[in-house]
Structure 1
Amino acid sequence: MDYKILNELIDNVDKYKAHKKPKNEKDKKGEQIYETLLEHIKRTEKYFAKFWITKNGDEILERFCNLMLKDKLKNDEQIENAKKLLKEMIKGIAIFHDIGKVNPNYQVIKIGNKEISRNEAFIDANHSFISSISYLSYFRSKLMKEVSKKKIRDLMKEFLLYHAYIIERHHSNLNEIEKFLKKIFLEENDNYKESLMDKFIKVISENNLYKYELNLENNDTKLLINEFKRKKCTNNTSKGRSKEQCIYLSMYIRWIYSLLVASDYYATSEFMNDMDFSKVSDLDNIGYWNKFYEDTSLLKNIRKYQKTKYPLSDEKLNTVKDINILRSEIFCEVEEKIKANTDENIFYLEAPTGSGKSNTAINASFKLMQHDKRLQKIFYIYPFNTLVEQNLETLEKVFADNEDIKQNIAVINSITPIKVSEKDLNDNEEKDVYQKALLDRQFLNYPMILSTHVSLFNIIFGNRQSDVLAFYQLANSVIVLDEIQSYKNKIWAEIICYLKELAKMFNIKIIIMSATLPDLDILSRFQAQAVNLLENPSRFFAVDCFKNRVKLNYDLLKIDKDDILDKLKTHLKQYLKSDKKILIEFIKKKTAHDFWVDLQENEDFKDVQIEYLSGDDSIAERKRILDKVKKTIDTIILVSTQVIEAGVDIDMDIGYKNISKLDSEEQFLGRINRSCKKEGIAYFFEVDEASNIYKDDVRLSESIVLKDVNMQKILELKLFDEYYKKVLETTMGKYSYHFDEFIKDISDLNYESISTHMKLIDDTQDMVQIYLVRTLCVDGEILDGKQIWDSYVDLWENGRKTMSYAEWKIELSRITSKMNNFIYQVSKHNLRIGKFYEQMGNIICLEDGDKYFIKDKFNREILYIEN
């Protein structure tokens, strides 16, 4: 079957159009340029086949069928026949996805096709739902005629439902499949006389739009739907599906939906831009990347160590004073473990803070790709945008002399402009380059990608079309997840269970790493264990270089909360003339800000450099502060919020921290005496209660925070397995119902609920973005906030009149990247910003932005004071 079948299915198919170019683009005769339906289906089919082949679709389908059908069909021959049928039905999705554009109202209203007359019998200009029922009817008839085995027929009929649902949603978000089922079938208690499907079938038949008969009676659809409902997740797999199979099915629908939307999008872009976009940017030359990587001085030193000294005995390891030796030991052991377990999918890397995990992960990724040539992409995923930027700098240093490789590393987040190749701009027309750049960004068409957990989880669990667009790109990739435990433990079980099945079905290698990594296998319930890349991480944690590089002091925990801030100032005075770098972390932004102001106004601290770092700081301001901290040789005090904890590469001498979660305490300690060349000390105190900030986190139970003497001992000895055993026991008991709800949503194919359930960050509907007009100097460039805002407004109001959509989106990404230096997210409640402001969407622009700053730091409280 291919696109030409439309000639057999649709009467006079050539008169139907799929798309039209903008009015300002005419043909040589000065007439509107149309893409026929046949041309569009041909293009969509081309891209669908392209993506299917490049992403090894046959292998994925093979695995899926083996996982889903082996316990349903008797023998290999039946399974093989079912696979062939399913693949043909999948191919049919691309061919049928727009067949509903024969709707006369679509042709008249959407396309302006003068060969067609409007038909009031049609409900509206809908085409996706008509396409879905056309597909359903055609393939159901084909199954009934050509497949003799009832078991295979029944299995495939159910998949027809899923494929029809995908077609119906291909211009929309994924929602709950039940909503689609109600459009094609009426329950006895429904008040309507006929379903939406019945109405369309009737009018299509009466107008003879197809050469084949649409034949789906209510009894037919009832049988189809009953098959779906009967096989929902159950403990009795002879009657229904296992939990794993429910997960595979939900992934399968997401995968095919992603392939269809991508193919449709690329096909439309080809017509609109007169340009083929078939080039796929995958990492197919890992040998070249690895050779360059191995030629760096860092790798040469490690390889020399590997040949001459690795491995050290436990006895020698305990005497090591040079942290680079420990990093090399970890690097080499992980490499050995990777090589011995290349066929596994999930890997845990638990190693001390400062032990070179990022470099070790790069090497592990390359080794996995060298072993399995099917692996085509690397995703490095971090908790925060700041860490994305930091690790981009690391990679750019590694590949500093290779522009080709650097050009193939992309940052995907909300604050980085869409990547446009300067070489392509010089070699091609701007229109073509912008469209290619936009497609690359939307569909993650890069060999190496740096992004955040939020972005990745949107792709895996989100239900918006924009989330799922690039899901197919995850297949045959390496994903490095850094600090996954930093998110709410309420969904840890869901995360690990889903990731394990995702990796199995799509041949994904996932490396989960942290200095404080819970044994997530305990939560994975029904799955095989992951591979620990360090056989015994505690042997490294126990080395003096890591364990004792920071002395811990709990004396300040005995001070009353009302007195602690004054006591802190007094305590700090002993270090003011010591040329020490001092870090003070608060867990509440207001407390941190107020303490920083107090220090600056205190006569005793007038000769000391004092800086303040919070989540409100722009990337440029953050970089300025951290660079200053790194370079200074005199006493400096850095007051900070929790943004300092994860992965920030600074080396302080003295630390003070408001207690919170034990793993946060260890992350904080990773900023003290990081090089192991001095003596570090950390003091813990409490002024704000963590339970008021980290809502619903079991890690804040009284018995497992630093107020407990046993926890103090666990932190000193780095016995995080004991700590996480307590955490996981509580998690499994407290949130088992939560996991069951997740499996139910998956079984019901309720993508909206799945998306809500798996949100890493709670909804921010009560928040608004404030743009504060100022003049800033960023990396030597003067940024005029008013000028940037005016450019943004002009782009929204006039840009689309003079630019192509792709160029407009890229210019928008560039201007919003600059705007991030002026934007702050604040609560809507009780805002007192007066009448004199301008608003674009969810962004409110306030002139005279400097008045909202105290000592050049944003003070959000001013926004809530009557002006």
Structure 2
Amino acid sequence: FFNYLFGVSREESFPLIHMINSVVILDEIQSYKNEIWKEIILFLEKYAEILNIKIIIMSATLPRLNKLGCNDDNFAYLVRYRDKYFKNPLFKDRVNISFEMLNSEVNSIEEIVKKVVEESERYNKILIEFIKKSSALKFYKNIKEKLKDKSESIYLITGDDNKLERKKIINKIKDIGSVILVATQVVEAGVDIDMDLGFKDISIIDSDEQFLGRINRSCKKLDSKVYFFNLDDAKEIYRKDIRKEKNLTLNEESNREIILEKDFEKYYDKIIARIEENKNKHNDENIDVFTNDIVGKLDFKSVNERMTLIDKLRDYTIFLNTQVEDESGNIVVGSDVWEDYVSLLKNNDIEYSEKRVKMSDIMEKLDYFTYKLRKFDNSFNDYIGDIFYIDDGEQYFTDGKFDRSKFNENVEHEYI
């Protein structure tokens, strides 16, 4: 969507005309880069006016982005009486929140494992979330060792799992009564699970609140609880995010009342004030310089760079030849998928439309076997385009999970 608004290529610009007279819903707005929130709201207001678009902004924490410069006449709250919902006991009090692990400065995997083992006697469905994949994987190995009798009902979900694997795990969680799920932040949005007990490595308050939405989702349980702890430094993850600063996280005791009382407006007043302060500094981020010298002079490439939502890093795509079971119970062999993919790419004898349809089917299966790496110097058996094929893919898995440490990759900043 942002490529349509701010892109400079032919393919990016053409769809813009189809946005006229449309309704656009932007969900999870708190996840967008807050360093450009002010630019986002100013641009959205103008696009809405010029193209007659209605833009609906949604979020669990409802940051009041209109305070960043939107004309009051162009902005309306769809939820007029916010506290009617946020303060309702079914929402506000459905989970008991504990900061005892923060207060006692629990700071090792072993200490967290010990606490989870203790609580596993009382709770059936437990979710533990880490910021980094490396911490999640280490905890997963440790907890399986500690609870050998329950190891079959202990699962791990990270951003390295494909859609099929995640779906299979989520379905298993719904079907069995007792389960421990270890995860990264992939479970915070769009994952329909209802757990009894949660443990979370704190990051930004928005993320912490999203996590609470996975616990007692049905509001039918009486003793659901969440423990917050601080293991990995969120500063390494949210480098340019204002909300990562210690005085704006749950490390600061005064902020804990915000999440207990769901008083996010007070919290976001601080964030918005900080954004305004940054945008008025005499540097490259200055909003007046941007609007006058870049937007005003139609420097489209610079606008495109400024409004990029996801910073592009150099990634290597690797295809690991393994075998997986699809949703129908059929075994899919990686080498067969690779051969079909290469064969179709090289086939110039079929119609373009037919090729696109067949490619769509193969790409879905290709996702079962492909992974992203920042560092890749291992040998490979084949490649096409920017995808590298490795025939003996099983060697890069531990307990059925992709283990990027086997590529000697530095995983310290891998968090999704």
Q: Same fold (TM over 0.5)?
A: yes
Instruction: Tell me by how many angstroms 1:604 deviates.
Output: 5.8
Contact 1:608 1:637 in 2 (8 A): no
Match of 1:819 in 2: 366
2:72 pairs with 1:523: no
Give a deviation string over 1:124-171, Cα, whole Å, max 9, x none: xxxxxxxxxxxxxxxxxxxxxxxxxxxxxxxxxxxxxxxxxxxxxxxx
Q: Note the aligned Cα RMSD (angstroms).
A: 1.7
Amino acid at match of 2:5: I
2:292 pairs with 1:774: no
Match of 1:753 in 2: 302
Contact 1:771 1:844 in 2 (8 A): yes
Mind listing any 5+ residue stretches in structure 1 that lack a counterpart? 1-455
Secondary structure of the corresponding residue to residue 502 of structure 1: helix
Match of 1:597 among 127, 138, 141: 141
Amino acid at match of 1:462: G
Alignment of 1:571-650 (within 5 A): 571-603=115-147, 606=150, 609-633=153-177, 635-650=178-193
Secondary structure of the corresponding residue to residue 362 of structure 2: helix
Contact 1:463 1:751 in 2 (8 A): yes
Q: Structure 1 residues 579 and 518, CA, compared in 2 at 3 Å: closer, same or farther? A: closer
Match of 1:493 in 2: 38
Alignment of 1:404-803 (within 5 A): 456-524=1-69, 528-560=73-105, 562=107, 564-603=108-147, 606=150, 609-633=153-177, 635-678=178-221, 679-736=223-280, 737-743=285-291, 744-764=293-313, 766-780=314-328, 781-797=330-346, 799-800=347-348, 802-803=349-350
Secondary structure of the corresponding residue to residue 821 of structure 1: coil
Alignment of 1:821-840 (within 5 A): 821-828=368-375, 831-834=376-379, 836-840=380-384
Q: Equivalents in 1 of 2:367, 2:66: separation in Å?
A: 39
Instruction: Tell me by how many angstroms 1:649 deviates.
Output: 1.4
TM-score by length of 2: 0.92
Q: Equivalents in 2 of 1:749, 1:714: separation in Å?
A: 42
Secondary structure of the corresponding residue to residue 203 of structure 2: coil
Secondary structure of the corresponding residue to residue 172 of structure 2: helix
Instruction: Tell me by how many angstroms 1:579 deviates.
Output: 5.0
Q: Equivalents in 1 of 2:148, 2:323: separation in Å?
A: 32
Match of 2:413 in 1: none
Amino acid at match of 1:475: I
Q: Equivalents in 2 of 1:824, 1:607: separation in Å?
A: 26
Contact 1:579 1:636 in 2 (8 A): no
Secondary structure of the corresponding residue to residue 514 of structure 1: coil
Contact 1:853 1:859 in 2 (8 A): yes
Give the aligned length. 402
Secondary structure of the corresponding residue to residue 539 of structure 1: helix
Give a deviation string over 1:587-609, Cα, whole Å, max 9, x none: 01110111111111225664561
Secondary structure of the corresponding residue to residue 503 of structure 1: helix
Q: Structure 1 residues 735 and 588, CA, compared in 2 at 3 Å: closer, same or farther? A: farther
Q: Equivalents in 1 of 2:340, 2:311: separation in Å?
A: 32
Contact 1:795 1:808 in 2 (8 A): yes
Amino acid at match of 2:395: K
Contact 1:491 1:739 in 2 (8 A): no
Match of 1:60 in 2: none
Q: Equivalents in 2 of 1:597, 1:590: separation in Å?
A: 11
Q: Equivalents in 2 of 1:662, 1:670: separation in Å?
A: 13
Q: Structure 1 residues 547 and 485, CA, compared in 2 at 3 Å: closer, same or farther? A: same
Q: Equivalents in 2 of 1:529, 1:555: separation in Å?
A: 45
Contact 2:188 2:207 in 1 (8 A): yes
Instruction: Tell me by how many angstroms 1:696 deviates.
Output: 0.9
Larger Rg: 1
Amino acid at match of 1:567: E
Amino acid at match of 1:544: P
Instruction: Tell me by how many angstroms 1:615 deviates.
Output: 0.9
Match of 1:394 in 2: none
Instruction: Tell me by how many angstroms 1:719 deviates.
Output: 0.2
Amino acid at match of 1:514: S
Contact 2:258 2:264 in 1 (8 A): yes
Amino acid at match of 1:804: E
Give a deviation string over 1:41-88, Cα, whole Å, max 9, x none: xxxxxxxxxxxxxxxxxxxxxxxxxxxxxxxxxxxxxxxxxxxxxxxx
Q: Name the % identity.
A: 38
Q: Equivalents in 2 of 1:528, 1:824: separation in Å?
A: 47
Instruction: Tell me by how many angstroms 1:814 deviates.
Output: 2.4
Q: Equivalents in 2 of 1:479, 1:615: separation in Å?
A: 27
Secondary structure of the corresponding residue to residue 111 of structure 2: helix
Instruction: Tell me by how many angstroms 1:742 deviates.
Output: 3.8
Amino acid at match of 2:34: N
Contact 2:216 2:224 in 1 (8 A): yes
Q: Equivalents in 1 of 2:179, 2:35: separation in Å?
A: 39
Instruction: Tell me by how many angstroms 1:751 deviates.
Output: 2.0
Give a deviation string over 1:209-247, Cα, whole Å, max 9, x none: xxxxxxxxxxxxxxxxxxxxxxxxxxxxxxxxxxxxxxx
TM-score by length of 1: 0.45
Structure number with higher helix proportion: 1
Give a deviation string over 1:11-45, Cα, whole Å, max 9, x none: xxxxxxxxxxxxxxxxxxxxxxxxxxxxxxxxxxx
Contact 2:120 2:126 in 1 (8 A): no
Secondary structure of the corresponding residue to residue 58 of structure 2: strand
Alignment of 1:48-59 (within 5 A): none
2:406 pairs with 1:858: no
Instruction: Tell me by how many angstroms 1:575 deviates.
Output: 2.9
Q: Equivalents in 2 of 1:840, 1:534: separation in Å?
A: 51
Contact 1:742 1:757 in 2 (8 A): no
Amino acid at match of 1:777: E
Give a deviation string over 1:686-723, Cα, whole Å, max 9, x none: 11010111111100122110011111011100000000
